[in-house]
Amino acid sequence: MPMVINSALYRNGRRERDLSVEAISDVLHSPGTFVWLGLHEPDDAMLARLQEEFQLHDLAIEDARKAHQRPKLETYGDTLFIVLNTAQMEQGEVVFGETHLFVGRDFLVSVRHGPSASYSPVRERCEHTPHLLAKGAPFALYAVMDFVVDHYQPVLESLQETFDAIEGQLFGDAFDRTAIERLYTLKRQLLRLRNAALPVEDIAGQLVRLHEDVVPRELRAYFRDVADHAHRLVGALDVIREMLTTAISVNVALVSVTQNDIVKRLAGWGAILAIPTVVFSNYGMNFKGMPELQHPAGYPIVLACTVAGCVWLYRKLRRSGWI
């Protein structure tokens, strides 16, 4: 995959022409225009060129060079640096990626790391609404953030379906170790998705409250909508996490009850076997002065009493649920 995915100059909301990275500084800051550049895992040379063209801060470039950054919003002069964690479904699997955004008054640069979804659909959608894209880089930033949050929803629904399937296995008659392992994997994925979605609400809120120079008044409602969407997602994730934690606790309780039932049954049969054990061990002692040994009916009487005692205890334990 090429490092430069898309690079274009927009004038009054319409795409004027494609740009090479080297030509960006020649058109940057032209009235009524902004530059939208999309990169995927750029190398050091490309980042150095990017820094030169947009006059970006060294620390921001250093962060963009490394993946696995926490979601955040930082200010470097007139430029904002935003890190978002992305999530999407690919071939039935949840994959996580990362996007770094440089935002200025007249430019937006996206740097994708890992399996982050392409923003080409975002660009196409924006180009079909030139009256909104005429707002410049802030609207393009909103469109990217909205796209990232929208992609959380299918992941959330997939995790919910996975939980529903595992939940049915948890409450089956047999203990399923695989279900427990899948449950813990699901819990990690839920936590990772929550850690991705939760900061988006705060970042969108900061853009509205603290960066009026970047986000014009007429676009604040759009960023509030992103914050609300992220808030709802986090709430839904918290509900699933609570249900998942409850399911794990209930499963542990059921396993404990099953083990207790087994112990009770073993104890019950042990009590029954104790009767013949005591009787026969008593008559197994080598004493000559045991008068019942000489009685002609001694053996059948002892045997009958032993069987009767075992039957009586069996019925009693059976009624009490011990066997």
Confidence of residue 99 (pLDDT cuts 50, 70, 90): very high
What per-residue confidence (pLDDT) applies to 138?
Answer: 92
Once rounded to an integer, what is the mean pLDDT over residues 110-136? 90
Q: Has residue 286 got a pLDDT over 80?
A: no
- Angstrom distance (rounded) from CA 142 to CA 321: 65
What per-residue confidence (pLDDT) applies to 123?
Answer: 92
Q: Has residue 290 got a pLDDT over 80?
A: no
Span 4-254 CATH architecture: 2-Layer Sandwich (3.30)
- The region of weakest confidence among 6-10, 21-25, 297-301 is 297-301
Q: Has residue 21 got a pLDDT over 70?
A: yes
What per-residue confidence (pLDDT) applies to 98?
Answer: 92
Which DSSP category does 322 fall into?
A: -
- Angstrom distance (rounded) from CA 119 to CA 133: 15
Which DSSP category does 136 fall into?
A: -
Contact 7, 24 (CB under 8 A): yes
What per-residue confidence (pLDDT) applies to 232?
Answer: 94
Tell me whether strands 33-40 and 4-11 are parallel, antiparallel or unpaired: antiparallel
Beta strand spans in 50-161 (E): 72-76, 79-90, 93-104, 107-113
Q: Has residue 12 got a pLDDT over 60?
A: yes
pTM listed for this prediction: 0.77
Q: How far is CA 172 from the centre of its chain?
A: 25
What per-residue confidence (pLDDT) applies to 245?
Answer: 84
Query: Which residues share a beta bridge with 81?
Result: 74, 102
Query: Which residues share a beta bridge with 100?
Result: 83, 111
Average pLDDT, the chain: 85
Confidence of residue 262 (pLDDT cuts 50, 70, 90): confident
What per-residue confidence (pLDDT) applies to 269?
Answer: 82
Domain regions of the chain by residue span: 4-254, 266-319
The two structure tokens encoding residue 309: 């005692």
- Angstrom distance (rounded) from CA 144 to CA 136: 13
Q: Has residue 112 got a pLDDT over 70?
A: yes
In a 3-state reduction of DSSP, which class is residue 323?
A: coil
Higher pLDDT, 91 or 288: 91
- The region of weakest confidence among 110-124, 161-175, 232-246, 260-274 is 161-175
Q: For the chain, how many helices (H) and strands (E)?
A: 9, 7
Q: How far is CA 268 from the centre of its chain?
A: 46
Which DSSP category does 128 fall into?
A: T
CA atoms within 13 A on the CB side of 96: 18
What per-residue confidence (pLDDT) applies to 287?
Answer: 63
Q: Residue 127: CB partners within 8 Å, gap ≥ 6?
A: 14, 15, 133
Once rounded to an integer, what is the mean pLDDT over residues 201-228? 89
- How many CB atoms are closer than 10 A to CB 125? 15
What per-residue confidence (pLDDT) applies to 256?
Answer: 74
In a 3-state reduction of DSSP, which class is residue 93?
A: strand
Q: Has residue 192 got a pLDDT over 80?
A: yes
Confidence of residue 265 (pLDDT cuts 50, 70, 90): confident
